[in-house]
């Protein structure tokens, strides 16, 4: 499929834990033209990085055909892993530069598989810096985490 024939989709993702490790939530907003779709979920025992990877994987897995994607994330771990580090990991049989197994191996494979059919521009945005869509997915991820009703994870209000 020619690049110009692909749908253009904007995606914003976020994930987090409180505490880290602990209960976590992830979220994504997908925008195609005037249509938006929100996704979110959580896990009782996880890490910030796992939630960031899960958000990207879930968002990309929703796409039904190859698309031109601009994926916005505040996770340098996700962006650097996918744009800089993963080729070395693959070359070293999923070992990092120190020779240790790559953390979150299965999730990295999931993100790479979900990304494969798409043409993706991976964009980093500074978290908690006023980017409206980044703030929106942060709120959705926090709500997903809080909905788990795990003692000690609810954010204090007021």
The yes-or-no answer on residue 138 being catalytic is yes
**Residue tagged active-site, from 99, 128, 152, 158:** 128
The yes-or-no answer on residue 86 being catalytic is no
Residue 83 lies in a domain: yes
Residue 156 lies in a domain: no
The yes-or-no answer on residue 135 being catalytic is no
Number of domains in the chain: 1
Which two tokens mark 49?
Answer: 């990085």
Report the C-alpha gap between 105 and 118 in whole angstroms. 21
Residue 71 lies in a domain: yes
Structural domain boundaries enclosing 112: 3-146
Q: Report which of 142, 143, 14, 11 is spatially closest to residue 78, judged by C-alpha positions.
A: 14
pLDDT of residue 20: 94
Residue 28 lies in a domain: yes
The yes-or-no answer on residue 100 being catalytic is no
Residue 157 lies in a domain: no
Residue 122 lies in a domain: yes
pLDDT of residue 1: 47
Which two tokens mark 119?
Answer: 């043409």
CATH code assigned at 47: 3.30.420.10
Residues forming a β-bridge with 33: none
The yes-or-no answer on residue 131 being catalytic is no
Residue 153 lies in a domain: no
Give per-residue pLDDT as tens, 105-136: 999 999 999 999 999 999 999 887 888 999 99
Low-confidence residues of the chain: pLDDT under 50: 1, 153-158
Residue 92 lies in a domain: yes
pLDDT of residue 147: 94
Report the C-alpha gap between 135 and 123 in whole angstroms. 15
- Beta-carbon contacts of 34 under 8 Å, excluding residues fewer than 6 positions away, are none
pLDDT of residue 4: 56
The yes-or-no answer on residue 72 being catalytic is no
pLDDT of residue 128: 79
């Amino acid at each position: 499929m020619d690049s110009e024939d692909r749908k253009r989709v904007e995606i914003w993702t976020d994930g987090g834990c409180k505490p880290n490790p602990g209960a976590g939530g992830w979220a994504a907003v997908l925008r195609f033209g005037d249509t938006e779709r929100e996704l979110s979920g959580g896990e009782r025992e996880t890490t910030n990085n796992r939630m960031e990877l899960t958000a990207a994987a879930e968002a990309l897995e929703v796409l039904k055909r190859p698309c031109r994607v601009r994926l916005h994330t505040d996770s340098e771990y996700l962006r650097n892993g996918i744009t800089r580090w993963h080729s070395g990991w693959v070359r070293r049989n999923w070992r990092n530069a120190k020779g240790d197994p790559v953390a979150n191996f299965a999730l990295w494979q999931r993100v790479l598989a979900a990304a494969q059919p798409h043409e993706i521009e991976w964009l980093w945005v500074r978290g908690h810096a006023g980017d409206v869509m980044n703030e929106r997915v942060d709120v959705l991820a926090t709500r997903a985490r809080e909905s788990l009703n795990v003692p000690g994870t609810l954010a204090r209000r007021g």
